[in-house]
Amino acid sequence: MPRSTVAHVDLDALRSNYRKACTLAGSANVMAVVKADGYGHGIREVASALAGETPKFAVACIEEARAIRDTGLSQPVVLLQGIHTASDIGECAANGFEPVLHSDQQLAWLERARSAPAFWLKVNSGMNRLGFFPENLSDVVGRLSRLEAFSRFSGFVTHFACADDPQSPMTAQQTERFKQATLPWPGAMRSVGNSAAHFLPGQELFDWSRPGIMLYGGSPMLGRTGLELGLKPVMSLEAPLITTRTVRAGDSVGYGAGWVATRDTVMGMVAIGYGDGYPRHAGTGTPAAVNGRRIQLIGRVSMDMLAVDLTNAPEAKVGDRVELWGNTVGVDEVALCAGTISYELLTGITARVPRAYRSRSEA
Amino acid sequence: MPRSTVAHVDLDALRSNYRKACTLAGSANVMAVVKADGYGHGIREVASALAGETPKFAVACIEEARAIRDTGLSQPVVLLQGIHTASDIGECAANGFEPVLHSDQQLAWLERARSAPAFWLKVNSGMNRLGFFPENLSDVVGRLSRLEAFSRFSGFVTHFACADDPQSPMTAQQTERFKQATLPWPGAMRSVGNSAAHFLPGQELFDWSRPGIMLYGGSPMLGRTGLELGLKPVMSLEAPLITTRTVRAGDSVGYGAGWVATRDTVMGMVAIGYGDGYPRHAGTGTPAAVNGRRIQLIGRVSMDMLAVDLTNAPEAKVGDRVELWGNTVGVDEVALCAGTISYELLTGITARVPRAYRSRSEA
Ligand SMILES: Cc1ncc(COP(=O)(O)O)c(CN[C@H](C)C(=O)O)c1O
Ligand SMILES: Cc1ncc(COP(=O)(O)O)c(CN[C@H](C)C(=O)O)c1O
């Protein structure tokens, strides 16, 4: 018998969100971003579920690309962080991995390689994490164009810093800088566009967009929930009530004794905590649900359990399943209460929580 | 070749911290708490490394106890959260798992069981998470004393809410309440004492203490670091620099463009992010180290990377290993910057980060 703390993953919802991205992307192709273990949903299962839909996958590092190949999938896999060693180049060439090169060292590795993979160049249009400055791009491409490997050059990639905020002037600036910088090479493909860019009216997405969070039902937009954006929740995080009791007015609950009952309160303990990846920054007031009713956390989240106020669900009993996020409570709501974003919550669920997959289409 | 983002685990330091707990515990026995995957260090390896030292292990749930048995270790394993189903009782009896029973339902399962395991009773002395209220203890023990299983009753367990704060009156109150409540059964053992209790002068630890965080070098005390308490760091979290560059005065770095360079600044990108479990609540100003020099994070932590200011380490180059926490930067310092405790950071490291074990004694 499992501990029955579990993350249900709805693969139909995932596919539906992918299709929504395609609709929003218009004529742009859409590569599914499945890094960080498929944003915490399980890279193998997520990639398999999307294999019939997406022409390419994108991941952070080569280990993740290997996981996709080990699953038997044959789509090209874009490595958003490029490669880490000289020998990675050969492995990329042999396996259909497409590194996004962003540093002189990586160019040198490409230059010395005997067989080259399809590859991309990262342009730093203002994020200032990775990529070549626009003013250096001519030199970079000039240097590469002398190589045989240049026949495998796919195109240019850039990434937005503030697309979650429609008011920010930064996205338009980055788009313009990217457009100007890549103008001299009209034959190369262009890839911009995290999830947020799909929701910005009039935003150009060029040849390939790269949505991540929206596939998993999380909102990419500041102040909006995934549900409000028409996305379907994919992960439903559940844990059982392991005890219920009445705490008396004046008694405190949990570490630090920070929550004190102002009246006799029926409370429950739920078998999930930050050791499972539930955020410790959530606490009193964060919503959860039981039997379809919304309830709230009280006190501090512990490593293996957390406390809830059951005033709103007096019928709840030991063994009932509490939804920490999913359909009744959006992951974006919990993220807001924890002072973070759904991305961190989803990727943070630890290995102690088994993932359980649901899919009508393959049932 | 691995991504080379790695959590080194020093098993000698772990053993040394366990021995320190024994010294501090005086005449109390010490059970090693290895729940939540050994506080993120790997339950199998941690339990194996401590097998020659500790007479008992403690975990949260039966799945974790199974992991210890699967590793071939034979010590009793205490289940701090008790059991979740009726059938767990039989499994406990057959495998030397000792559940801490805390609810009427669990008592009913014990009553109906054909073979009983050694078991404990949880007393709620003020934490108000789990356990029987002191005033009900006589009834509970009375009910159980009629059972054959009662011959396997080990004793009483309680847990402190505020032992991290030496100023809090709560620990003395809980100790007194526990003592009074268990007075009628002088033959039963008594277990109190998380790590913090080991550092409270004059604190009674009765028969068994249950340290967790101190074994892993994290501080259990508010406002003190593990190093200050004489604990050895066990986990050293490292990731490579994947690029360095100069950002110009006025340019921003990272998501939200929240960090802006006030002067031309040499910065680096490090291949670790919240998708690895590094906390997104850390950010500008959080310490890290490279080549033994302390440096600081700038901007927001991304999913797969973060930015550091290299002004203080001008010699740092691509490929150099950045310590996120470990020997130069304490995990407690990072926790403070992230508004949380070392417990959450250590247990939060995701499966994407391989653990690499070091041990002189077994080399
Ligand atoms: C280069 C790149 N492309 C596309 C995506 C997908 O973004 P989104 O999930 O917002 O649709 C990411 C994700 N970035 C993560 C979130 C990061 O680096 O922190 C990315 O780094
Ligand atoms: C019953 C019990 N005993 C002993 C310990 C060890 O505590 P420490 O790591 O502080 O030494 C814990 C850990 N508690 C965790 C931290 C929790 O429930 O959140 C515990 O729940």
Q: What is the tens place of the pLDDT at every residue in A9-64?
A: 999 999 999 999 999 999 999 999 999 999 999 999 999 999 999 999 999 999 99
Q: So what's the pLDDT on residue A363?
A: 43
Sign of the torsion formed by the C-alpha atoms of B67, B68, B69 and B72: positive
Q: Which amino acid is at B58?
A: A
DSSP A83-122: -SSTTHHHHHHHHTEEEEE-SHHHHHHHHH-SS---EEEE
User: Which chain A residues in 251-280 lie under 8 Å from chain B, judged by CB atoms?
Assistant: 251-257, 267, 269, 271, 274-277, 280
Please give the average per-residue pLDDT across B283-309, as a whole number: 97
Instruction: Give rounded-to-5 percent helix, strand, coil for chain A.
Output: 30, 25, 45
The CA distance from A318 to the nearest CA of chain B, in Å, is 8
Say how many C-beta atoms besides its own lie within 10 A of residue B105's C-beta: 19
Dist. CA A86–CA A288, nearest whole Å: 48
Strand partners, B30: B209
Say how many C-beta atoms besides its own lie within 10 A of residue B216's C-beta: 30
Output the residue whose Cα is nearest ligand 2's atom 13.
Answer: B212
- Contact criterion met (CB below 8 Å) for A283 and A300: yes
Dist. CA A220–CA A33, nearest whole Å: 14
Q: So what's the pLDDT on residue B152?
A: 97
Dihedrals φ, ψ of A289, to 5°?
-150, 145
Dist. CA A214–CA A50, nearest whole Å: 14
Residues lower than pLDDT 70 in chain A: 1-3, 361-363
Please give the average per-residue pLDDT across B98-104, as a whole number: 96
Q: Could you tell me if A179 lies within 8 Å of chain B, comparing CB atoms?
A: no
Q: Which of A81, A277, A351 sits opposite B242 (nearest CB)?
A: A81
Tokens of A138: 């001519």
Binding residues of B for substrate, as ranges, are: 129, 303
Sign of the torsion formed by the C-alpha atoms of A189, A59, A111 and B267: positive
CATH domain A11-216 topology: TIM Barrel (3.20.20)
Please give the average per-residue pLDDT across B171-192, as a whole number: 97
Residues of A annotated catalytic, as ranges: 35, 255
Dist. CA B71–CA B76, nearest whole Å: 13
Q: So what's the pLDDT on residue B362?
A: 56
Closest C-alpha among A209, A142, A218, A137 to residue A178: A137
Q: Which of B35, B122, B274, B278 is catalytic?
A: B35
Residue A358 exposed, middle or buried by CB count within 10 Å (0-12, 13-18, 19+):
middle
Reduced to 3 states, what is the DSSP secondary structure of residue A34? coil
Q: What is the pLDDT of residues B193-239, one digit of tens each?
A: 999 999 999 999 999 999 999 999 999 999 999 999 999 999 999 99
Q: Could you tell me if B300 lies within 8 Å of chain A, comparing CB atoms?
A: no
- In CATH, the number for domain B235-329 is 2.40.37.10
Q: Could you tell me if A86 lies within 8 Å of chain B, comparing CB atoms?
A: no
Residue boundaries of the structural domains of chain B: 11-216, 235-329
The CA distance from B84 to the nearest CA of chain A, in Å, is 7
Q: A326: Cβ below 6 Å to ligand 1?
A: no
Cα A17 from chain centroid (whole Å)? 13
Q: So what's the pLDDT on residue A360?
A: 85
- Contact criterion met (CB below 8 Å) for A31 and A78: yes
Taking each helix axis from N to C terminus, what angle separates A88-95 and A62-70, rounded to the nearest 10 degrees? 30
B35 an active-site residue?
A: yes
Output the residue whose Cα is nearest ligand 2's atom 5.
Answer: B194
Ligand 1 binding pocket mutation candidate from B242, B253, B270, B302 (most atoms within 8 A of CB) = B302
**Ligand number, closest to the Cα atom of A196:** 1
B57-59 and A259-260 strand pairing: unpaired
**pLDDT band, very low/low/confident/very high, at B9 (cuts 50, 70, 90):** very high
Mean pLDDT of all residues belonging to chain B: 96
